[in-house]
A and B are shown apart, each in its own frame.
Chain A
Amino acid sequence: MSLRSRMETWWKAISERGPLDRQVQEELEFHLESYAEDLMRSGVPREEAMRRARAELGSLAAGQEKCRAAWGARFVDELWADLHYALRMLARSPAFAAIAVGSLALGIGVNTVIFTAAQHMLLDRLAVPHPEQLRLLEWTQPNDGIVGSMWGWWDDLPGGGHLGTSFSYPVYQQLRKQSSEMESLFAFKPLDRQTVTVDGHAEAVGAELVSGNYYSSLQVRPILGRGIQESDDGSPGSGPVVVISDRFWMKEFTRSPQVIGKTILVNMTPMTIVGVNPRGFTGAYSAQETPDIFLPFSMQPIVAPKNGGGSNSSSLLANTDLWWVLVMGRIKPGMPDRTASASLNVLLDAAVRATMPVKKGGQIPKLLLIDGSRGQNPAAEDLAKPIAVLLGLGGFVLLLACANLANLLLARASARQREMSVRLALGAGRGRILRQMMTESLMLSLLGGAAGMVLAYAVRNTIPRMMSDSWAPQAVSARFDWRIFGFAAGVSIVTGLIFGLAPAWEATRVQVSSGLKDSAQTATRRRRGLAGKTIVVIEVALSMLLVVGAGLFVQTLIQLGHARLGFRPANLLLFELQPPQTRYRDAASIPLYRQLEQKLAAIPGIQSVALTNAPLIAGGVSMHAFIPEGQQRKPQGNPSVLSNDVGESFFSTYGIAIVAGRGFNSSDTETSRKVAVVNESLAKKYFPNLNPIGRTFESGLDVASPIEIVGVCGDAKYDRVRKDPEPTFYAPYWQEKEGFEDATFALATRLDAKTLMPALRQVVQSLDRNLPLLDVRTQDEQIAASLRYERIFANLTAAFGALALILACIGIYGIMAWTVSRRMHEIGIRIALGARSEQVQGMVLREAAWITLLGVVAGVAGALALGRFVASLLYGLKSWDPATYAGSATMLILVALAASWIPARRAAGVDPIRALRHE
């Protein structure tokens, strides 16, 4: 009861301040008049009665204040008063306000932007109810385990062996039937771009194959129509239906409700649209990319036929060799992960034995359950460390801004000593003064935080945009939700506490008596401003860290840009084709490619045309088993090398030298002996000190025909600039009996893409009207895109470094100006005693140099210690690269000297008479 009345009266005091004051006033006036009347009745004259009454009752204002305090409003009243006062003080010094709020906004804004990107890339969960219940099935096996044929994501384990998330379809079916610890197991598979034709207009979109219980297990309800059901996922070809994404619905059908029941062609196969996914649903694979069409597994043999693992059937559903399907499920509430994974492990063992022949001693993969709330999220592993490093650097920038602000506030605090003395003399407790100073700091930091959030919102898409390819920009809209708001608010508050503490503490240590004296200067300068100098040393150390970081990452980018590629990327225009398997089954795509090669070469302005299966420096490789002649082929665990199917003019177009033997020519046909060209690394590794020309090897695909090596070419980088060339062999694409699904054409030309596009499109469409041209870019752009993370890093850290130098400059200028101004007396005396201006300047510069040197040394120590963490992100230089450190130190010292130049000049130009009179 008491609590309730306390809250009511407190709320009334806060919200109805005016009415409450009037109420108290009325009461007190009534009391006054009544008392005065009583006095008058006992004979006291009116004037005297009123005076006596007033004196006894006390002042009205004091009464109002005490009554408000009685209702618990004191804290809020004081807070309000502090804020008012702080705002007035800020308004009076706009320059200070601008610098303070500006540097805070930059620091907090930068951190918020990085956090937004981090959240989007790493933390975003799948847009389904209760994503924390989802578990993804994963397996590990040693190097010679029984899983040999895989299509999907895998990783090497540090101790040997592989980690994978793909299962064979028959294994999945068995697991699903018998699993009891999971509420249900469903399967999905993201497909690369499929050709979708809507009303005669063809384009390539991402797709996802899903099982019949996918929608029910994920509990996703389409906003229109229905999801994929069990009845769609029966026998192959029985469910020609698709569910489209919201984005696709908007783009192709402008959100018309008539879309349900419409027929579209997916890889030339008519399918009916039965539903539209809710906006924000990204499938089960990742939370960052959205497939545009979802189709049942039963349609795979028709829509996306693929040969798997040696069988001739185009259906992967009955294929027991190829492991390609991802499996996820919701764990039963209350079931511990270990129990579920143990029982699933047993089921997997049984399923594998039931579906695949397992030799004695064959290693069956072990199953693990991992968190599935973010899907597979392949990008997360690569990005976790860089984002952590960015957040760390951003934190340092913020710390630097805090240090600057602390110094600024310290300088202001020393100017307010008289004010503080007056307050203390009037009866304020030191705690009250501390509270006032902290309120001012927090207000400043919250203002900076608000400005920083506005800044971060304005540039929220920069980092995600920098991360996508420049020729296929993703429509990103980084989410700006309460978590980011909370982050920014939290950072602001912590910032305010950090930089506000030192000045607040200093303010409370004022001595009342000496603070009120006129010449308060000499008595109150305790400890020669050590606090300010320490802060500046910290500032210089942080700047050193950031400048060194900038130097390292910028140089990494430069080194990567100049790295020896092994081929000539200049003047190469690339584009990609993905002929749908339904029309160009296996080797049927080869005549298409051949014709394209000829027709493209005929376009004026194009010097040569080369075709590759895997584009260079695009992050993808093709890998095949490699058994040189004379070596026994093992059933499992053969060595494998990288390979690429290429066209005849590949070597000349890319400028890769043939150092021995020959390239491909017209004598190599579809029916002649299979040939290949190996690179020097392969020759060195597998045929050391021998001539590989004429030798043969077997590759995993075609068991019967060995491949003859007809040439050796120079090493060229394959998928990344960072990776050194590995053993690779190149095979002529037309000898590839199974064809390949996508081909990249490289055109040697000096013309740019825009000029050539009409001709290119015309050539492609003359051969097939329904074949879209994908990803038109130059090889240089491709390489630049592959370096996008390094570029982001270099840009951001360079900006951080520049910011750090500016802040350090301001900090050093501030502390030296302050030092000089308080030593005016002393300098005046020195000059009066005969010191020359150079001596005085030297004194100031020496002090600045000391501070800077201390800071640089501390910064070097810090940078060396932290350098270990970023070593893996660098290229071409070590994390303790001496040139970078020396350069950064020099830059900082120069900046420090420049910053202290003006105070030094001012000190030297002091008029001794005025200085001695200076207060």
Chain B
Amino acid sequence: MGKDAGVDLLQGTLDMLVLKAVSLGSLHGYGVLLRIQQISQNRLEIQQGSLYPALYRLEHEGWIAGEWGQSENKRRARFYRLTAAGRRRLEAETKKWDQFAEVIGVILNTAPEEL
């Protein structure tokens, strides 16, 4: 059921989701994928090919910072954490998204009598 949502995910929304995932704790790339699936309760499927470009894009903008670390099974992996600028961006984007959703919701839920 979440399949069409995964395919139609815009670039901006993927960025937002990644920021949110990382905001809950430092993660490596695979971990970000798992966490998004987890908090969306498996209703969202991310195109794995667009994950790493998104991570690099966010790092380019300075919203997340990456450094090498050790994964759970003692392997080398690159972990990303949210920066202060990233936190501000996440808040701003969340607010915008909420406003956007509210407006669209109001429009879509207009009953004919309310005109």
Contacts and interface: CB of A to CB of B under 8 A. Distances in A.
Given A1-B62, A5-B61, A9-B59, A23 B53 contact: no
Contacts of B54: 70
A67 B78 contact: no
Would you call the interface of chain A mostly helix, strand, loop, or mixed? Answer: helix
Interface in A381-427: none
A36 to B, nearest CB: 11
Given A30-B71, A30-B77, A2 B52 contact: no
A478 to B, nearest CB: 49
Contact of A24 (B52, B62, B75): B52
B85 interface: yes
Contacts of A71: 56, 59-60
B109 interface: no
A6 B75 CA distance: 29
A26 B30 CA distance: 12
B61 A26 contact: no
A63 B55 CA distance: 12
A2 B77 contact: no
A56 B48 contact: yes
B49 interface: yes
Contact of B60 (A6, A28, A62): A6
Contacts of A606: none
A832 B83 CA distance: 80
A57 B49 contact: yes
A35 B29 CA distance: 11
B85 A27 contact: no
B28 interface: yes
B57 interface: yes
Interface string B3-38: 000000000000000000000000011100100000
Contact of B57 (A23, A24, A27, A70): A70
Contacts of A30: 28-30, 71, 75-78
Contact of A67 (B56, B71, B75, B77): B56
A71 B75 CA distance: 26
A27 B77 CA distance: 7
B88 to A, nearest CB: 10
A5 B84 CA distance: 13
A26 B76 contact: yes
A66 B53 contact: yes
Contacts of B49: 56-58, 62-63
A1 B89 CA distance: 12
Contacts of A63: 49, 52-53
A3 to B, nearest CB: 9
Residue among B28, B49, B54, B85 with max Cβ neighbours from chain A (10 Å): B49
A2 B61 contact: yes
Contacts of A6: 60-62
A4 interface: yes
Interface string B40-58: 0000000011001110110
A509 interface: no
B29 A70 contact: no
A67 B52 CA distance: 7
Given A2-B61, A56-B48, A58-B48, A27 B53 contact: no
| Size bracket of the A interface | 20 to 34
Contact of B29 (A9, A27, A58, A66): A27
B11 to A, nearest CB: 11
Contacts of B62: 1-2, 4-6
A57 B48 contact: yes
A58 B62 CA distance: 26
A27 B48 contact: no
Contacts of B29: 27, 30-31
A34 interface: yes
A449 B81 CA distance: 50
Interface string A227-247: 000000000000000000000
Contact of B53 (A1, A31, A69, A72): A69
Contacts of A31: 29-30, 33, 48, 52
Interface in A867-890: none
A5 B60 contact: yes
Nearest to A4: B62
Given A27-B77, A34-B30, A2 B57 contact: no
A70 B56 contact: yes
Interface string B73-104: 00111100000010000000000000000000
B9 to A, nearest CB: 15
Interface in A259-282: none
Contacts of B59: 5, 9, 71
Contact of B78 (A10, A23, A34, A57): A23
Given A30-B71, A30-B76, A58-B48, A35 B60 contact: no
Nearest to B75: A30
Contacts of B71: 30, 34
A27 B75 CA distance: 11
Contacts of B76: 26, 30
A683 to B, nearest CB: 92
Nearest to B47: A56
Interface string A529-541: 0000000000000
Contacts of A57: 48-49
Contacts of B78: 23, 26-27, 30
A33 to B, nearest CB: 8
Contacts of A1: 62, 85
Contacts of A67: 52-53, 56
A9 B33 CA distance: 23
A550 to B, nearest CB: 59
Contacts of A26: 76, 78
Nearest to A10: B60
Interface in A613-658: none
B39 to A, nearest CB: 17
Nearest to A32: B30
B33 to A, nearest CB: 8
A27 B52 contact: yes
Nearest to A73: B60
Nearest to A65: B53
B48 A66 contact: no
A70 to B, nearest CB: 4
Interface string A176-191: 0000000000000000
A33 B33 CA distance: 14
B22 to A, nearest CB: 15
B91 to A, nearest CB: 15
A71 B76 CA distance: 23
Nearest to B84: A1
B47 to A, nearest CB: 8
B82 to A, nearest CB: 13
Contact of A2 (B33, B56, B75, B85): B85
Contacts of A62: 49
26 contacts: A1-B85, A2-B62, A2-B85, A5-B61, A6-B60, A6-B62, A9-B60, A30-B28, A30-B29, A30-B71, A30-B75, A30-B76, A31-B33, A31-B52, A34-B30, A34-B71, A57-B48, A58-B48, A58-B49, A62-B49, A63-B49, A63-B53, A66-B52, A67-B53, A70-B53, A72-B60
Interface of A: 1-2, 4-6, 9-10, 23-24, 26-28, 30-31, 33-35, 56-58, 62-63, 66-67, 69-72
5 closest residue pairs by CB, A with B: A5-B62, A70-B56, A58-B49, A66-B53, A70-B57
Given A4-B62, A58-B48, 15 more contacts: A2-B85, A5-B61, A6-B62, A9-B60, A26-B78, A27-B29, A27-B78, A31-B29, A31-B30, A31-B52, A34-B30, A35-B48, A67-B53, A70-B57, A70-B60
